[in-house]
A and B are shown apart, each in its own frame.
Chain A
């Protein structure tokens, strides 16, 4: 919502584009597509970019004529930056967003916790960046619009998705009329109220938390670092919680738990928003002028589909899961869904993998969602305790934290590391690990020189890292066999690393990965470790990799 007299897209700092529906003759001429993506929110656009990264064309539908209104999701985590980089879209994000590593929690005006998110020189990106969702959508859109492989149809609502022999038939209603289009695969990125989900008779399942939050953005010249500030039981919102985040363009996000005794309608009336925000700003010692930009209301839910795949329809982003904001995983998880589904689908469409590779999508990404639920549930129980028992314990912990540092840890928002995949078959979990890196985890990054990181060496497709002291005699043969698995395969050897970064670079890499000379690692296109072997045993690697990612006919 925006102040009286302003339209839904009337922003103090952002100009929303105005899109129109595609030409009627054009949509009628095209009968089918390989991949249809329903929803051009951040997740749908990122899925299109990921498919394009592997040379796969898609058609992207959205019923709106512009981006989502309001700043919505603002915290983008490190792993999302890495994914954006792989899709060639990270540059504008680096230029615009504010990175951060730290948070402070206050109880009754006193600081009880200062936490640092995991970070070191080995990392290319900071643990978290703040940027408004409309910039996220703008930058993704710039990349989508520049890709010859993506056709976007705005003002185009998908009203039906029926199975056919070879995929699905979508019914589309745009400003110029109705039409149908066939797709081999459908990615449903149509958001929390997914129409495709209802059309397919599917429902999200899980819990709702009590406690509602108002999200308000204000523009002001406030001198404070980019950190996460959390206020419990403050003068301006007694017994309740407040979160404050800085965003680009002098925008500040004030999330506050609705005061008792206000109905939802009252809470979101402009007068009440101005009152509450004004009180909070005085509480944090801000005396200057401020302008109200946008606000919304939010409650914490942990909801997910039982299966993110329904035949040829794959659910990605909010259509598949809704998570509480406290873990800042809504958007970040959605981007990871899009990349996971994207690279796998690209392999299937290119004939490099069987369709069964898609079976690994739901266990991996649903597993990640359940992991978020577990942590976000802890956070939500602390931010908005659901019952007397949780309230008493929360208040006891906060009260102790005023005198005891250890008790402050209960207030940590637990914005954890990416999830480690175990189920689904797209991780070679039976291989012996080489060192401290486990298949199914994100490959750790390492800085190898002033301007190069391990992640910069990885290829677009799979990457084989062979840390043999001498290039093994069979390396060429191994490469040749694996090229059948992935023509884009990149191969990195100890020799390459030593030649570019010296012996010191190589030993830094071993130290970071906990590997011994001889270790061989296979990295997936999404930066996850597929398999690790203590030595480069070519026939074992080829057999395992082919079984997991290849085609059945070929072995």
Chain B
């Protein structure tokens, strides 16, 4: 079941604060570790692969 918005917002805020505590080089590794942890817990390869695609959309700056 998807996380409700209030919980999602808690995640948003915790991530923002965590990113601020990390150095730029640590940030990338942290986000990848987090993705692997979440992927393992999600337990669904095709969904994880779809998310890897979705997350690449609209990355270019205007």
Contacts and interface: CB of A to CB of B under 8 A. Distances in A.
B59 interface: yes
A238 B62 contact: yes
A399 interface: yes
By size class, the interface of chain A is: 20 to 34
Interface in B1-57: 2, 5, 8-9, 12, 15-21, 27, 54-55, 57
B19 A388 contact: yes
A397 B17 contact: no
27 contacts: A233-B62, A235-B62, A238-B62, A381-B16, A387-B16, A388-B19, A388-B20, A389-B15, A389-B16, A389-B17, A389-B18, A389-B21, A390-B16, A392-B16, A392-B19, A392-B27, A397-B12, A399-B58, A399-B59, A400-B54, A400-B55, A402-B57, A402-B58, A406-B5, A406-B8, A409-B5, A410-B12
A457 interface: no
Given A108-B62, A406-B5, A410-B12, A390 B20 contact: yes
B20 A410 contact: no
Prevailing SS type, chain B contact patch: helix
Contacts of B18: 389
Contact of A389 (B20, B55, B58, B62): B20
Interface residues of B, number: 19
Given A387-B20, A389-B15, 8 more contacts: A233-B62, A381-B16, A390-B16, A392-B19, A399-B58, A400-B54, A403-B58, A406-B8
Given A108-B62, A393-B15, A403 B20 contact: no
Q: Which 6 A-B pairs give the minimum distances between C-beta atoms?
A: A389-B19, A389-B20, A389-B16, A393-B16, A399-B58, A390-B16
Contacts of A406: 2, 5, 8
Interface in A231-282: 233, 235, 238
Contacts of A381: 16
Contact of A393 (B12, B57, B58): B12
Contacts of B16: 381, 387, 389-390, 392-393
Contacts of A378: 9
Given A233-B62, A235-B62, A393 B19 contact: yes
Contacts of A403: 54, 57-58
Contacts of B9: 378, 410
A112 to B, nearest CB: 11
Contacts of A388: 19-20
